[in-house]
Structure 1
Amino acid sequence: QGRGRRRRRVAPLAVSPPPASERGEEPLLRGIFEIGKRSCDVVLSARRLRWSPIVPESPAGGTGREEIIEMKDVFSVKLKRRRFVGQKKGGTLLGITIFKCLHKEENKLTDCAVHLNNLSEDHCNSWFRHLKEILNGFQNRPKSLKVFVNPSSHKREATHVYYEKVAPLFKLADIKTDIIRIFIDFVFCVGGDGSVSEVAHGLLLKAQIDAGKGTDYIPAPVRASVPLGVIPAGEAKQYCYILSVICFKSLWHIL
Structure 2
Amino acid sequence: MQGDGEVLFLGGVGEVTVTLGHDGLSFLPLHPELGSSCLSSIGLLPKLENKIKFSDVYAVELLDEGPVCGPWNTRIVVQSKKNSEMHRFAVHVITRSRKHPSQLVPYEYLFGHKDPETCKSWVEHLSACINNEQDRPKNLMVFVHPLCGKGRGCKNWEMVAPLFDRAKVNTKVIITERAGHAYDTLASISDKELKKFDGVVAVGGDGLFNEILNGLLNLRNKTSYPPTPEGFGYFGSTEKCQGYRNDGLNNSTPTSDAVKNVMLRVGSNKSDDHEPLLSTGQSVGLDISSLNPNTESSTGGSSSFSLLPK
How does the TM-score come out when normalised to structure 1?
0.54
Give, in angstroms, the shift of residue 54 of structure 1: 1.3
- Equivalent residue number for residue 137 of structure 2: 142
Choose from 2, 5, 9 the match for 1:34: 9
Q: Does 1:43 align with 2:19?
A: yes
Gaps of 5+ in 2: 34-47, 67-84, 184-205, 208-292, 304-310
- Equivalent residue number for residue 152 of structure 1: 147
8 Å contact 1:147–1:177 — kept in the other structure?
Answer: yes
- Equivalent residue number for residue 96 of structure 2: 103
Stretches (4+) displaced over 4 A: none
- Equivalent residue number for residue 50 of structure 2: 67
C-alpha separation in 1, matches of 2:50 and 2:22? 16
| 1:143-222 to 2 correspondences below 5 Å | 143-163=138-158, 165-185=159-179
The percentage of counterpart residues that share the same residue type is 24
1:232 partner SS: coil
Give, in angstroms, the shift of residue 30 of structure 1: 2.3
Give, in angstroms, the shift of residue 29 of structure 1: 8.1
Worse-matched range after superposition: 141-150 or 30-39:
30-39
- Equivalent residue number for residue 43 of structure 2: none
Q: Does 1:231 align with 2:282?
A: no
C-alpha separation in 2, matches of 1:51 and 1:121? 20
How does the TM-score come out when normalised to structure 2?
0.45
Give, in angstroms, the shift of residue 119 of structure 1: 2.7
Give, in angstroms, the shift of residue 238 of structure 1: 5.9
8 Å contact 2:17–2:30 — kept in the other structure?
Answer: yes
Worse-matched range after superposition: 32-41 or 130-139:
32-41
| RMSD of aligned alpha carbons | 3.4
C-alpha separation in 1, matches of 2:113 and 2:65? 13
1:151-210: per-residue Cα shift (whole Å, max 9, x none)?
1222221001111x21011011111111111012579x9xxxxxxxxxxxx66xxxxxxx
8 Å contact 1:143–1:175 — kept in the other structure?
Answer: yes
Gaps of 5+ in 1: 1-25, 58-64, 84-91, 190-201, 204-227, 244-255
1:226-250: per-residue Cα shift (whole Å, max 9, x none)?
xx775226xxx3626xx9xxxxxxx
Q: Aligned pair in 2 of structure 1 residues 29, 130: CA closer, same or farther (>3 Å)?
A: farther
8 Å contact 2:65–2:86 — kept in the other structure?
Answer: yes
C-alpha separation in 2, matches of 1:56 and 1:148? 47
C-alpha separation in 2, matches of 1:126 and 1:178? 32
Give, in angstroms, the shift of residue 121 of structure 1: 1.7
1:10-36: per-residue Cα shift (whole Å, max 9, x none)?
xxxxxxxxxxxxxxxx93782111112
- Equivalent residue number for residue 20 of structure 1: none
C-alpha separation in 2, matches of 1:141 and 1:128? 18
C-alpha separation in 1, matches of 2:4 and 2:127? 13
8 Å contact 1:52–1:66 — kept in the other structure?
Answer: no
- Equivalent residue number for residue 242 of structure 2: none
8 Å contact 2:138–2:169 — kept in the other structure?
Answer: yes
Aligned residues: 161
- Equivalent residue number for residue 61 of structure 2: 78
8 Å contact 1:39–1:53 — kept in the other structure?
Answer: yes
Which one-letter code corresponds to 1:170 in the other structure?
F
Give, in angstroms, the shift of residue 56 of structure 1: 10
